């Protein structure tokens, strides 16, 4: 998506001159004031000590830190404390897949652990960034993977029955891109030989026929009690009978399979069997959980966010609502029993997977704290559910949505719409709202919008082509939300642009995709009457989105009332335009926010190469730190000791899909001495 904002040089020069004339005087004044007032206060040494023991900060996925050393008053003084380079980066020239450095490190037992796009695990000194050990499972880098080369992180577990200091009493669990579950000794980085077969469990066993490079694990597993639970990622538009999307739990000590949950039921005694057509249940794949899972260990619950059943854009071979797909499913962690489920999209035809980790919160009602779960979606909907029952804590309405005009398709007639919190993105887009840098660009966008079918959100794919708004990318994606219980806030970043999709009759598919003017990507959807053609971003001839800016947002909600507190654009076009213009139109973004008790929201994610800090109460941008590559990852923060510094760490390695600057950097920021 580097071409997203590839504007003609003449237009950019004109804008640059206008900005320079308008801002030069103000910039000089600001610079003079900053020079006079830049007296750096001493780094405060008091306050809390806290780590980051799980991908989402904790098993609840709150992405919240109680740290206060870095706060609204001193965040402007943050500077790079250390940088670690992993060496693992691919631009597609040596290996067929590009890399995306999406990992969030964890801090466990005084060591920082991170996974790389090449599926290596590295242990680092958290105060210097120096390497303590690394482990390479040696995935086949010459394979073309359905995802880019990517891994989002690792999980830590300590055996309560093991002896302190015993080998593998403290373990790092990691699932590789080629679908192996590993157990590593946290201290030495050696495989735990008593786990699985010599430290590994082959996750490809038992999920059906595997196509090379198409069955992967990209998000970290989660350990709950004595089990480690793992999902999977799949290229799910190849055919109907892709790999099963089963979620499985393995004994954390031995690697023995303890239970398996099938989002698409396979047998008459499986949960959800009665809601499926028997034939389609036996041959439909996917509905997998590729996003990070969350857990409530005290309640013995694990929360599973699932995606669409295969394939995404045609459901004629999987009639019905497709229960457990596109759902939050609460499972008993010790047994795998289904406790409750809530479906956010019925009979998905839009690739509206639940891409975000569920986040566990408590909603205050009449003086009581109600255990709850917040689920962000690609549609810009936030569902807040009772954690123990799955019942919505705010009203949700089933509303009529457009019907399909494709022979063989039976789109579900209604979809759930939360009344509160209200949808965070517009649910309609008209040709009159087409946007462009020039009248010519805008006119072409308008013509494109007029050519596509669009009757509002959830308009089904069509043979002529359908506009999808919000986009199949989101809304919210895998970055998820951050929760501040003190301020009663949820913070989430969103994409705000459109995509398009069309179905192509099987007899015409090969000739259409080979046509000289073919655009977008093509997928066969074998076993259905139609192939598929789509593009994740609808742009005009200058490469600018046809939707009005901002194209990226950062939003804060009150999770007790559902009210919107604030929203601000996220990102500038500085690093995606031919000239470095800091225009705050927001950009497409991947990665997520964290919140600290110091009153700050930290987030990278945008297509310019910065880590930013925002005031959690107002949304005001307070600081930004330049990164050496794209920051398409969720940051984390920690402080190890009373006399130590608070570090804010982010992976800066870019994203092969967004085409941001690639790299291999892990960057830590801290206040100066």
- Residue positions annotated with a catalytic role: 351
Residues β-bridged to residue 484: 489
Rounded to a whole number of angstroms, the CA Rg of the chain reads 24
Cβ neighbors of 542 (< 8 A, separation 6 or more) are 6, 7, 8, 11, 436, 437, 438, 441
C-alpha distances out from residue 668 to 67, 128, 175, 624, Å: 16, 9, 25, 13
Q: Alpha helix locations (H) across 284-323?
A: none
Cβ neighbors of 630 (< 8 A, separation 6 or more) are 575, 604, 607, 609, 652, 653, 654, 655, 658, 660, 661, 662, 663
Cβ-contact 667, 654 below 8 angstroms: no
Q: Among residues 231, 224, 229, 227, which one has the least CA distance to residue 252?
A: 227
Q: Among residues 395, 410, 631, 434, which one has the least CA distance to residue 539?
A: 434
Measured from the Cβ of residue 292, the count of other Cβ atoms closer than 10 Å reads 27
Q: How far apart are CA 261 and CA 323, in angstroms?
A: 13
Q: How far apart are CA 652 and CA 667, in angstroms?
A: 7
User: Environment class of residue 545 by beta-carbon count within 10 Å: exposed (0-12), middle (13-18) or buried (19+)?
Assistant: buried
Q: Among residues 270, 252, 269, 253, which one has the least CA distance to residue 261?
A: 270
Q: How far apart are CA 610 and CA 627, in angstroms?
A: 5
Q: How far apart are CA 443 and CA 462, in angstroms?
A: 24
For residue 75, is it left (φ>0), alpha (ψ between -120 and 50) or beta?
Answer: alpha
Secondary structure of 405-472 in HEC code, one letter for each residue: CCCCCCCCCEEEEECCCCCCCCCCCCHHHCCCCCHHHHHHHHHHHHHCECCCCCCCCECCCEEECCEC
Cβ-contact 625, 608 below 8 angstroms: no
């Amino acid at each position: 998506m580097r071409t997203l904002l590839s504007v003609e040089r003449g237009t950019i020069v004109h804008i640059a001159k206008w900005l320079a004339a308008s801002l030069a005087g103000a910039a000089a004044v600001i610079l003079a004031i900053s020079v006079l007032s830049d007296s750096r206060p001493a780094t405060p040494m008091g306050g809390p000590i806290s780590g980051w023991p799980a991908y989402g900060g904790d098993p609840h996925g709150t992405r919240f830190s109680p740290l206060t050393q870095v706060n609204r008053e001193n965040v402007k003084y943050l500077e790079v404390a250390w940088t670690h380079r992993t060496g693992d980066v691919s631009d597609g020239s040596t290996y067929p897949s590009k890399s995306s450095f999406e990992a969030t490190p964890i801090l466990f037992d005084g060591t920082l652990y991170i996974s790389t796009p090449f599926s290596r695990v590295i242990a680092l000194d958290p105060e210097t960034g120096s390497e303590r050990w690394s482990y390479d499972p040696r995935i086949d880098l010459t394979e073309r993977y359905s995802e880019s080369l990517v891994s989002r992180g690792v999980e830590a577990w300590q055996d309560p029955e093991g002896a302190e200091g015993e080998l593998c009493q403290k373990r790092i669990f990691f699932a590789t891109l080629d679908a192996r579950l590993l157990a590593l000794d946290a201290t030495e980085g050696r495989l735990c030989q008593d786990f699985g077969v010599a430290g590994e469990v082959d996750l490809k066993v038992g999920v059906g026929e595997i196509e090379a490079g198409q069955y992967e694990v990209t998000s970290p597993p989660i350990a709950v009690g004595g089990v480690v639970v793992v999902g999977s990622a799949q290229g799910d538009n190849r055919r109907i009978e892709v790999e099963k999307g089963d979620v499985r739990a393995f004994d954390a000590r031995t690697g023995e399979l303890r239970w398996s949950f099938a989002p698409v039921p396979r047998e008459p005694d499986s949960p959800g069997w009665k809601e499926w057509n028997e034939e389609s249940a036996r041959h439909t794949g996917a509905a997998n959980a590729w996003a990070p899972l969350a857990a409530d260990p005290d309640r013995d619950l694990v929360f599973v966010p699932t995606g669409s059943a295969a394939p995404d854009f045609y459901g004629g071979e999987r009639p019905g609502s497709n229960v457990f797909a596109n759902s939050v499913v609460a499972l008993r962690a010790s047994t795998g029993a289904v406790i409750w489920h809530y479906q956010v999209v019925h009979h998905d035809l839009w690739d509206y997977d639940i891409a975000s980790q569920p986040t566990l919160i408590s909603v205050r009602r009449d003086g009581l704290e109600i255990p709850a779960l917040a689920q962000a979606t690609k549609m810009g909907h936030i569902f807040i559910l009772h954690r123990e029952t799955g019942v919505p804590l705010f009203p949700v309405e089933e509303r009529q949505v457009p019907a399909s005009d494709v022979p063989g398709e039976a789109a579900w007639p209604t979809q759930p719409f939360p009344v509160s919190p209200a949808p965070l993105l517009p649910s309609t887009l008209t040709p009159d709202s087409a946007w462009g840098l020039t009248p010519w660009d805008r006119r072409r966008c308008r013509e494109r919008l007029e050519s596509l079918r669009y009757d509002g959100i959830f308009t089904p794919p069509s043979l002529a082509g359908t506009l999808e708004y919000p986009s199949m990318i989101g809304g919210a994606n895998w970055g998820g939300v951050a929760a501040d219980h003190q301020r009663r806030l949820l913070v989430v970043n969103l994409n705000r642009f459109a995509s398009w999709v069309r179905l192509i009759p099987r007899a015409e598919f090969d000739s259409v995709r080979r046509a000289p003017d073919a655009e977008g990507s093509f997928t066969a959807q074998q076993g259905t009457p139609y192939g598929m053609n789509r593009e994740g971003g609808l742009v005009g001839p200058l490469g600018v989105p046809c939707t009005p800016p901002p194209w990226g947002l950062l939003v804060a909600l009150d999770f007790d009332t559902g009210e919107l507190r604030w929203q601000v654009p996220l990102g500038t076009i500085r690093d995606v335009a031919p000239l470095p213009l800091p225009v705050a139109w927001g950009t497409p973004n991947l990665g997520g926010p964290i919140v600290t008790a110091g009153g700050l929201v930290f987030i990278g994610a945008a297509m310019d190469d910065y880590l930013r800090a925002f005031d959690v109460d107002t949304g005001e941008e307070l600081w930004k730190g330049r990164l050496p590559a794209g920051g398409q990852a969720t940051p984390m923060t920690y402080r190890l000791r009373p006399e130590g510094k608070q570090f804010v760490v982010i992976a800066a390695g870019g994203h092969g899909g967004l085409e941001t600057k690639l790299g291999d950097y892990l960057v830590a920021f801290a206040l100066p001495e």
